[in-house]
Amino acid sequence: MERGLYIAASGMVSEMARQDLIANDLANASTAGYKADRAVQGSFGDLLLRNTQTGQTVGPLGAGSRIERQVTDLTAAPLKQTGEDLDFAIEGDGFFAVQTAQGVRYTRNGQFTAAANGRLTDQLGNAVLGQNGQPITIGADGKVPEANVGVFAVNNARKVGDNFFTGAAGGRGTGRVRSGALEGSGADPVRAMTDMIASLRAFESGQKVITTIDSTLQKASNQVGSL
């Protein structure tokens, strides 16, 4: 295949993956405790070009780009006071733990609610766990003491969707729970929009390269065929 087409196409595929992450950040710009994702791009190994007659080195030729890995920015966002009794935020390091159908998951989103059975749950109905790993029961006054909400240290935290993380539990986190507050979203809408525009322009550049190469190949084919 024409090498230029492959290089341009690989760049477009990388930008599509990047745009998916940026779009998800924009959609969660108001989600409490959300952590933004970054796509780290890299290039395939360069090819060293040489003159076929003299053997003299011409220089390297890139073989295209790819997404090497996805990185989640775990930097703590500012806390916002809500005044709601069942809203909680972690000031410092650590995660809340919830019991899901897939096992224990961790989150920084402390926007909790009361279940019909009197348990403290997240917005998806998953039970919030205390430091002892047991579900938390809401008091008769409709409140939960800050000390009852567990804060867990998580090693190698990895996002698994729905603002959840998995990882190896490392005991109690060093952060402090604050009631009546929520951690803001880690997604910056202004930065996300700027990144989206830059990514779209890079994608369009790849399209123009492919169009130009296709036109050139078509002309070469027609001219050769007419000889």
Which stretch of DSSP H or E encloses residue 128?
strand 127-128
> 67 CB contacts (<8 Å, ≥6 apart)?
14, 17, 18, 39, 40, 41, 42
Q: How many residues does the chain have?
A: 227
Start-to-end Cα distance in the chain: 24
Structure tokens at 114: 């009361």
* Residue 183 near residue 77, CB atoms below 8 Å: yes
Residue from 115, 179, 185 nearest 149 by CA: 179
Confidence (pLDDT) at 63: 58
Looking at residue 162, the DSSP 8-state letter turns out to be: T
Compute the CA torsion angle 58, 59, 65, 71 (nearest 10 deg).
180
Confidence (pLDDT) at 45: 53
Would you list the DSSP string of 8-76?
A: HHHHHHHHHHHHHHHHHHHHTTTSTT---EEEEEEEPPPEEEE-TTT--EEEEE---EEEEEEEE--PP
Strand runs (DSSP E) across 144-193, as ranges?
Answer: 152-161, 164-172, 176-179, 181-183
What stretches in the chain show pLDDT beneath 70? Answer: 1-2, 42-52, 55, 57-66, 224-227
Domain residue ranges in the chain: 3-74+187-226, 79-183
Q: Distance between CA atoms of 227 and 216, rounded to whole angstroms? A: 17
pTM value is 0.77
